[in-house]
Amino acid sequence: METRDVISFIAKIRDKVNRFIVLELGKHGVDGIGTSHGDILYALFANPRLPMADIAKRIHKDKSTVTALVDKLVRLGYVTKERDTEDSRVVYAALTQKGSELEPVFESISREVLDVFYFNISDKEQQDLLRILKKIDQNF
Protein backbone atom coordinates (compact mmCIF):
# COMPACT_ATOMS: atom_id res chain seq x y z
CA MET A 1 0.00 0.00 0.00
CA GLU A 2 1.23 3.47 -0.81
CA THR A 3 0.81 6.45 1.50
CA ARG A 4 -1.59 7.99 -1.00
CA ASP A 5 -4.00 5.09 -0.35
CA VAL A 6 -4.49 6.01 3.32
CA ILE A 7 -7.64 8.12 2.74
CA SER A 8 -9.33 5.26 0.89
CA PHE A 9 -8.24 2.89 3.66
CA ILE A 10 -9.71 5.16 6.35
CA ALA A 11 -13.00 5.31 4.41
CA LYS A 12 -13.11 1.52 4.18
CA ILE A 13 -12.46 1.18 7.92
CA ARG A 14 -15.25 3.70 8.61
CA ASP A 15 -17.66 1.65 6.47
CA LYS A 16 -16.69 -1.55 8.31
CA VAL A 17 -17.14 0.10 11.71
CA ASN A 18 -20.57 1.43 10.68
CA ARG A 19 -21.67 -2.02 9.46
CA PHE A 20 -20.43 -3.57 12.71
CA ILE A 21 -22.41 -1.06 14.78
CA VAL A 22 -25.61 -1.57 12.78
CA LEU A 23 -25.28 -5.36 13.11
CA GLU A 24 -24.71 -5.08 16.86
CA LEU A 25 -27.71 -2.76 17.22
CA GLY A 26 -29.79 -5.38 15.41
CA LYS A 27 -28.58 -8.08 17.81
CA HIS A 28 -29.89 -5.89 20.65
CA GLY A 29 -33.26 -5.51 18.90
CA VAL A 30 -32.62 -1.90 17.84
CA ASP A 31 -33.66 -1.41 14.24
CA GLY A 32 -34.04 1.73 12.17
CA ILE A 33 -31.20 3.63 13.82
CA GLY A 34 -28.10 4.36 11.80
CA THR A 35 -24.70 5.38 13.01
CA SER A 36 -25.57 8.97 12.08
CA HIS A 37 -28.03 9.00 14.98
CA GLY A 38 -25.36 8.02 17.50
CA ASP A 39 -23.90 11.49 18.05
CA ILE A 40 -27.37 12.91 18.74
CA LEU A 41 -28.23 10.16 21.18
CA TYR A 42 -24.89 10.49 22.97
CA ALA A 43 -25.47 14.25 23.33
CA LEU A 44 -28.90 13.51 24.81
CA PHE A 45 -27.53 10.79 27.10
CA ALA A 46 -25.29 13.48 28.61
CA ASN A 47 -28.14 16.02 28.81
CA PRO A 48 -31.59 14.49 28.20
CA ARG A 49 -33.13 17.74 26.88
CA LEU A 50 -31.27 20.08 24.54
CA PRO A 51 -32.13 22.81 22.06
CA MET A 52 -31.75 21.56 18.49
CA ALA A 53 -29.22 24.33 17.78
CA ASP A 54 -27.06 23.12 20.68
CA ILE A 55 -27.14 19.57 19.36
CA ALA A 56 -26.02 20.80 15.93
CA LYS A 57 -23.09 22.67 17.50
CA ARG A 58 -22.09 19.76 19.72
CA ILE A 59 -22.00 17.24 16.91
CA HIS A 60 -20.70 19.61 14.22
CA LYS A 61 -23.60 19.12 11.81
CA ASP A 62 -25.84 21.70 10.20
CA LYS A 63 -29.28 22.30 11.67
CA SER A 64 -31.17 20.80 8.72
CA THR A 65 -29.24 17.54 9.01
CA VAL A 66 -29.90 17.40 12.76
CA THR A 67 -33.58 18.12 12.19
CA ALA A 68 -33.92 15.21 9.75
CA LEU A 69 -32.06 12.84 12.09
CA VAL A 70 -34.06 13.92 15.15
CA ASP A 71 -37.33 13.63 13.22
CA LYS A 72 -36.53 9.98 12.51
CA LEU A 73 -35.73 9.41 16.20
CA VAL A 74 -39.10 11.00 17.03
CA ARG A 75 -40.90 8.63 14.59
CA LEU A 76 -39.12 5.68 16.23
CA GLY A 77 -40.18 6.85 19.71
CA TYR A 78 -36.70 7.56 21.10
CA VAL A 79 -36.98 11.36 21.21
CA THR A 80 -39.65 14.04 21.49
CA LYS A 81 -39.55 17.58 20.16
CA GLU A 82 -41.13 20.59 21.82
CA ARG A 83 -41.07 24.35 21.35
CA ASP A 84 -39.81 26.67 24.08
CA THR A 85 -42.74 28.31 25.86
CA GLU A 86 -41.05 31.73 25.91
CA ASP A 87 -39.35 31.70 22.48
CA SER A 88 -41.19 29.67 19.86
CA ARG A 89 -38.12 29.77 17.58
CA VAL A 90 -36.32 27.43 19.99
CA VAL A 91 -37.08 23.73 19.62
CA TYR A 92 -35.92 21.18 22.18
CA ALA A 93 -35.18 17.51 21.63
CA ALA A 94 -35.62 15.27 24.65
CA LEU A 95 -35.09 11.58 25.28
CA THR A 96 -38.14 9.45 25.91
CA GLN A 97 -38.00 6.51 28.31
CA LYS A 98 -37.43 4.28 25.28
CA GLY A 99 -34.55 6.53 24.22
CA SER A 100 -33.00 6.48 27.68
CA GLU A 101 -33.07 2.69 27.61
CA LEU A 102 -30.65 2.77 24.66
CA GLU A 103 -27.76 4.14 26.74
CA PRO A 104 -26.53 0.81 28.15
CA VAL A 105 -26.90 -0.78 24.70
CA PHE A 106 -24.83 1.99 23.12
CA GLU A 107 -22.19 1.74 25.86
CA SER A 108 -21.94 -2.02 25.37
CA ILE A 109 -21.60 -1.70 21.60
CA SER A 110 -19.07 1.10 22.00
CA ARG A 111 -16.89 -1.15 24.16
CA GLU A 112 -17.19 -3.96 21.61
CA VAL A 113 -16.24 -1.66 18.73
CA LEU A 114 -13.19 -0.38 20.59
CA ASP A 115 -12.14 -3.91 21.54
CA VAL A 116 -12.21 -4.94 17.88
CA PHE A 117 -10.73 -1.65 16.64
CA TYR A 118 -7.72 -1.81 18.96
CA PHE A 119 -7.23 -5.59 18.94
CA ASN A 120 -3.53 -6.41 18.71
CA ILE A 121 -2.55 -2.71 18.85
CA SER A 122 -0.30 -1.60 21.68
CA ASP A 123 -1.11 1.30 23.99
CA LYS A 124 1.72 3.28 22.40
CA GLU A 125 0.39 2.61 18.90
CA GLN A 126 -3.08 3.71 20.04
CA GLN A 127 -1.66 6.98 21.37
CA ASP A 128 0.40 7.50 18.20
CA LEU A 129 -2.66 6.89 16.04
CA LEU A 130 -4.72 9.39 18.02
CA ARG A 131 -1.95 11.98 17.87
CA ILE A 132 -1.56 11.60 14.10
CA LEU A 133 -5.32 11.70 13.44
CA LYS A 134 -5.62 14.88 15.51
CA LYS A 135 -2.88 16.46 13.39
CA ILE A 136 -4.66 15.46 10.19
CA ASP A 137 -7.93 16.83 11.54
CA GLN A 138 -6.24 20.16 12.32
CA ASN A 139 -4.80 20.28 8.80
CA PHE A 140 -8.34 20.63 7.47
CATH number of 32-100: 1.10.10.10
- Structural domain boundaries in the chain: 1-31+102-140, 32-100
DSSP string, 31-69: -S--GGGHHHHHHHHHSSEEEHHHHHHHHT--HHHHHHH
DSSP string, 69-91: HHHHHHHTTSEEEEE-SS-TT-E
Judged against a pLDDT cut of 90, whether residue 2 lies above it is answered with no
> Given this model, what pLDDT does residue 99 score?
96
Q: How many CB atoms lie within 10 A of CB 55?
A: 22
Could you read off the pLDDT of 56-101 as tens digits, one per residue? 999 999 999 999 999 999 999 999 999 999 998 999 999 999 999 9
Instruction: Average the pLDDT over 104-110 and give the result.
Output: 96
